[in-house]
Amino acid sequence: MEITVQQLKAKLDSNEDFHLIDVREPYEYEEANIGGQLMPLGELMDFLDEMEDWKEEEIVVMCRSGNRSGKAQVFLETNGFENVLNLKGGMLAWQNEIEG
């Protein structure tokens, strides 16, 4: 499943309880981020132990365009995470539609 940038902004604005994971590289995260936890896609496997308690919780994964986060979504679902949403359009869509 996907989530739009507008839906994500509404969740952030209302302080909903969910995990926001940014799977971009550190240099991309430093350029612009919206407060997600940085877990680069290539290192996602290394974070599985600390994410163990999140298997039934809502997780939103994001990247630059939605491609890498789509891969992260499949990886997490394959590893037993039940409620993973991919940010449609990623940071590019956020910058275009939210930041304008």
Active-site residues, by number, are 63
| Rounded CA separation 61/36 (Å) | 9
Q: Give me the DSSP letters along 24-81.
A: S-HHHHHH---SPEE--GGGGGGGTTTTGGGTTS-EEEE-SSSHHHHHHHHHHHHTT-
Phi, psi of 81 (to 5 degrees): -85, 130
The two tokens of residue 49 are 């132990």
